[in-house]
Amino acid sequence: MAGGALPYQRNTAARQPYLLERMHKWRCERFGRTRAMPHIKSYSAFSDGRCLPSWLLITSANLSKAAWGELQKKESQLAIRSYELGVLLTDEDSLQLLPYDMPLTKFEPGDQPWVCDDTYTKPDIHGATWPPD
């Protein structure tokens, strides 16, 4: 089950309500991947009125201090606990290869992110529920 690869927990989501307004629903009809959400993290910046982002970072880096670092010792050093890999795309041709459909579909009021420590009784397309039986 794809969600099993996403270790986002209920307590973490509760501490990060500001992320809800930035979250979007996964959709990738143009590559036939809407039902197969990958375990990627992507960060981008959009200019007003543009369909494509100004830049796109596709990476293994979670939104965590371990991945992005934390200033320590009176902000004199940056401590990074895990090394991540990413690709920064800035040219127009590469940005055409977005791994999801545009325009993005924002979360609607009441939408919640999938969390691994909740129970989901509605079967997915394979008939599986979470946690697995």
The CA-to-CA distance between both ends of the chain, in Å, stands at 12
The beta strands (E) that lie in 32-90 are given as 41-45, 55-59, 70-72, 77-79, 86-89
User: Which pLDDT does position 10 carry in this prediction?
Assistant: 92
122 inside domain: no
123 falls within a domain: no
Q: Which of 15, 24, 30, 39 is catalytic?
A: 39
pLDDT surpassing 80 at residue 113: yes
Tens digits of per-residue pLDDT, 43-90?
Answer: 888 887 778 889 999 998 888 888 889 999 999 999 989 888 999 999
Q: What pLDDT, on a 0 to 100 scale, did the predictor assign at position 111?
A: 92
CATH code of the domain covering residue 55? 3.30.870.10
Q: What's residue 1's pLDDT?
A: 46
- Is residue 120 included in any domain, yes or no? no
Confidence of residue 123 (pLDDT cuts 50, 70, 90): confident
- Establish if 65 belongs to a structural domain: yes
d(CA 16, CA 33): 28
Binding residues for substrate: 41
Based on the residue annotation, tell me whether 39 is a catalytic residue of this protein: yes
At which residue do the structure tokens 């979670």 appear? 62
The number of domains in the chain is 1
Residue 115 falls within a domain, yes or no?
no
Query: What average pLDDT does the structure give for the chain?
Result: 87
Domain extent for 77? 2-105
The pLDDT value recorded for residue 5 is 64
Assess if residue 23 is contained within a domain: yes
pLDDT at position 86, please?
Answer: 94
Q: Identify which has the larger pLDDT, 5 or 60.
A: 60
Assess if residue 51 is contained within a domain. yes
Q: pTM for this one?
A: 0.69
Could you tell me if residue 132 is inside a domain? no
pLDDT of residue 4: 66
